[in-house]
Copies of this chain bind each other. A is one copy, B any other.
Amino acid sequence: MKSNKEVKHYDVSRYRTPDGYTSDIAVFTITSERTKAYAPPKMELKLMLIKRADYDTEGNPNIEAGKWALPGGFVTPEETAQEAASRELSEETGIDGIPVKHFGVYDQPERDPRGWIISNAHYAIVPEHQLFSRKANDDAADVELFSVEELEWNQLAFDHSAIICDAIAHISRDLLQTTVAKQFLPESFTYSELQAVLLTITDDKAIRNEQAFARKIKSLPFIEAVEGQKTQRTSKLPTQLYRFVETDIKQSIYTARH
């Protein structure tokens, strides 16, 4: 009822409107460290943050200067926040064609001292090597990768600690419940590589167990073996490669094992 009437009478000048609409993006990557040859890598989930400059381009002291923040910026009326996030990602890292996923809106009245600014938050998964090539090209000192295990929670700008906390929760859930793990992996991968990705965010016994996981991967409807292809990058023994296949997954807590 109220909605109808409000809409009916809606006159922009009569209501206060937001002072800004921003799009923030949590860029995740997994760094993959090979401890020795012919062994599976040790992986770690990392988040890219940028350091806020001391002064803005006009020489005025910047708000929240020196703190770490998610990359992001204002959305223009000609684009969606998701498009803005893709644009930001491209500007910040030079990377295009990566899926960007919305995970929340942050609109607490006091969240930004500059006014009523609504933030639409996204996350993206960028393969490590693409971030490295960017770092090499444009040696911006104000960009850094932080391990999600050891984030400096009290050095974050605005309400970004809350946003990042949610981002980590969302990516963790999505890694286990969707096939986004493929964003971290090459087109074809071994069971131990997939396992290493999952172990960055879970310590599930059934995933840690090599034999069980290697057996299980063969029966998953959304993964298939790449016939006749083997690799030796994780073992001296030539190892079976797998790939994700498009399948819609409908699982339920009422039928799953617990």
Contacts and interface: CB of A to CB of B under 8 A. Distances in A.
B92 A251 contact: no
Interface string A1-28: 1111111111010011111110000000
A142 B4 CA distance: 10
Contact of A253 (B10, B21, B113, B222): B222
A16 to B, nearest CB: 5
A32 to B, nearest CB: 19
A140 interface: yes
A53 interface: yes
B251 A57 contact: no
A104 interface: yes
A176 B254 contact: yes
Interface stretch (A74-82, A125-133, A227-235): A74-82
Given A207-B254, A216-B254, A254-B207, A7 B80 contact: no
Given A21-B17, A118-B118, A256 B250 contact: no
B57 A6 contact: no
Contacts of A115: 2, 7, 10, 12
Report, as a range, how many residues of chain A touch the other chain: 35 or more
Interface stretch (A36-44, A148-156, A198-206): A198-206
Nearest to A25: B3
Nearest to A69: B3
A219 B6 contact: no
B80 A109 contact: yes
A182 to B, nearest CB: 12
Contacts of A69: 3
A74 to B, nearest CB: 6
Given A79-B109, A198-B254, 19 more contacts: A1-B140, A2-B115, A3-B113, A6-B73, A6-B114, A7-B114, A10-B19, A12-B20, A15-B74, A17-B20, A118-B118, A176-B250, A204-B255, A206-B255, A216-B255, A217-B254, A220-B258, A255-B257, A256-B257
